[in-house]
């Protein structure tokens, strides 16, 4: 029996693609373990699947000066030695790293233990964790075709993004029932990615009376962001985070307002949902969501609206409402473009690479 260890975490974009691979790995008879951050989001999402979860200490390297960068170096060191000891015990045939800061010491440990590593990058530019892992990876899977140009030919494999199969089998009626929505009015789903997005939450709530004239609004607002005052408002439902009901929530959407996290974007592409993408700003990130969003806009899957314009002026509610209306009115055009680019098969492609590296025919 072949053994695999999966890693990745911090936010769900580094976890749900691993969830998407589980059924394929299980059917092929792999013995599967997961190494992630102790008490991290990955622990909460992986344990219910029955996969053996091992929590390690983790530290984050930030792009800005912070005293924690120093203490976190020790935490990363501790995570590295914990990973070495786990990998020596588990003896996997392959390690799959989905990125996120917890994954880097696990990849380094795999190198020390002689375990071949496969990484996956969701964004069009490579995240810090994957850049630090790159020298030790046997194969590097990626999602955006343009990312391949930066990789050595013998390492890079264009796979697309593994998407959870159950997302493709949602039921609109169940979604409507869950939210107590009617079937006669369009549904706008808002998602700020796995943690919610404060900017989007504020904008949607400011514009709620206007939005509710046209739409029923289902708002995935992130942990700790449910606004009690708005509970029970007709036509508006908020959730901190949806797990099992997500396929039904997406199925009922006529359009989606979303952050530019790659996993969400590719899920919505696979489901052919017209999108208004509001990327995380360059002030707070390396700008990957802006590039993801622009790529989707260029391919005609939706529109991008920035938090602030070139002069630094914050987005106004009127501009937001105009953009929502524009995407909704042109929805048929976006759907047509998405039908030509279905974005499925990512899980199967990554699975094939894992089998090859583990020495198993897929
Ligand atoms: C702030 C930050 O660093 N964001 C990064 C993070 O995004 P983050 O992890 O937040 O977002 P993604 O959009 O990539 O993934 C979110 C995942 O959570 C799932 N979901 C979301 C809400 C919910 O209620 N239930 C649920 O299951 C989505 O279906 C999706 O599978 O990783 C992404 C993938 O590398 C990057 O593109 C983002 O830039």
Q: How confident is the model at residue 63 (pLDDT cuts 50, 70, 90)?
A: low
Measured CA to CA, the distance from residue 290 to residue 265 in angstroms comes to: 12
CATH number at residue 271: 3.40.50.2000
| 202 marked among binding-site residues | no
- Examine the domain organization and report whether 233 and 183 are in the same domain: yes
> From ligand 1's centre to the CA of 13, what distance in Å?
4
Please give the Cα distance from 236 to 214 (Å, whole number).
12
CB neighbours of residue 29 within 10 Å: 9
> Which atom of ligand 1 is the closest one to the Cα of 289?
39
**Which H or E run includes 202?**
helix 198-206
**Residue 87: predicted pLDDT:** 98
What is the C-alpha to C-alpha distance for residues 51 and 33, in angstroms, rounded to an integer? 6
Q: Which residue has the tokens 């005052």?
A: 229
Res 334 pLDDT > 80: yes
* Count of all residues that appear for the chain in the document: 362
Give residue-wise pLDDT tens across range 5-31: 999 999 999 999 999 999 999 999 999
Q: Do 188 and 328 have their domain in common?
A: yes
Q: How many domains does the chain have?
A: 2
Residue 109 in marked binding region: no
Give the position, in ligand 1's atom list, of the atom nearest the Cα of 242.
Answer: 24
**One domain for residues 253 and 122:** no
Q: Do 137 and 42 share a structural domain? A: yes
192 and 333, same domain (yes or no): yes
Give residue 6 CA to ligand 1 midpoint distance, Å: 18
R_g (Cα) of the chain, nearest Å? 20
Q: Is the domain of 56 the same as that of 143?
A: yes
- Between CA 268 and CA 193 the distance in angstroms is 12
Lowest mean pLDDT among 96-105, 163-172, 186-195, 338-347: 338-347
pTM assigned to the model: 0.94
Residues 183 and 65 reside in one and the same domain: no
Segment 270-320, tens digit of pLDDT: 999 999 999 998 777 778 999 999 999 999 999 999 999 877 888 899 999
Is 164 annotated among the ligand-binding residues?
A: yes
One domain, residues 331 and 353: no
156 and 175 co-located in one domain:
no
Please give the pLDDT value at position 156. Answer: 96
Asked whether residue 140 falls in the same domain as residue 259, the answer is no
DSSP characters over 130-163: HHHHGGG-SEEEESSGGGGGGS-TTTEEE-----
Q: Which atom of ligand 1 is nearest to the CA of 263?
A: 14
Q: Which residues contact 19 (CB under 8 A, 6 or more apart)?
A: 45, 46, 49, 164
């Amino acid at each position: 029996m072949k053994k695999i260890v999966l890693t990745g975490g911090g936010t769900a974009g580094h976890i749900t693609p691993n969830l998407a691979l589980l059924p394929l790995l299980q059917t092929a008879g792999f013995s599967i373990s997961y190494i992630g951050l102790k008490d991290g989001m990955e622990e909460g999402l992986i344990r219910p699947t029955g996969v053996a979860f091992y929590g390690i200490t983790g530290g984050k390297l930030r792009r800005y000066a912070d005293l924690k960068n120093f203490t976190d170096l020790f935490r990363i060191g501790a995570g590295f030695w914990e990973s070495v000891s786990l990998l020596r015990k588990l003896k996997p045939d392959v390690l799959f790293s989905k990125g996120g800061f917890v994954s880097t010491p696990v990849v380094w440990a795999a190198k020390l233990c002689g375990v071949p590593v496969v990484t996956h990058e969701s964004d069009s530019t490579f995240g810090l964790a994957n850049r630090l892992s790159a020298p030790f990876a046997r194969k590097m899977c990626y999602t955006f075709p343009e990312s391949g140009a930066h990789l050595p030919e013998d390492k890079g494999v264009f796979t697309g993004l593994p998407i959870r199969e159950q997302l493709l089998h949602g039921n609109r009626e169940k979604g409507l029932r869950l939210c107590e929505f009617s079937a006669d009015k369009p549904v706008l789903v808002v998602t700020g990615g796995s943690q919610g997005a404060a900017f989007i939450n504020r904008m949607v709530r400011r514009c709620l009376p206007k939005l509710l004239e046209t739409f029923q609004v289902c708002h995935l607002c992130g942990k700790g962001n449910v606004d009690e005052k708005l509970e029970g408002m007709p036509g508006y439902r908020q959730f901190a985070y949806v797990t099992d009901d997500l396929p039904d929530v997406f199925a009922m959407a006529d359009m989606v307002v979303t952050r530019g996290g790659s996993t969400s974007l590719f899920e919505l592409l696979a489901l052919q949902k017209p999108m208004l993408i509001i990327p995380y700003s360059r002030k707070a990130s390396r700008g990957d969501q802006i590039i993801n969003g622009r790529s989707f806009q260029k391919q005609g899957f939706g529109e991008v609206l920035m938090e602030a314009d070139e002069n630094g002026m914050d987005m106004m509610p009127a501009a937001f409402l105009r953009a929502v209306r524009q995407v909704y009115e042109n929805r048929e055009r976006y759907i047509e473009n998405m039908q030509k680019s279905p974005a499925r098969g990512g899980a199967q492609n990554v699975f094939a690479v894992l089998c090859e590296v583990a020495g198993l025919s897929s």
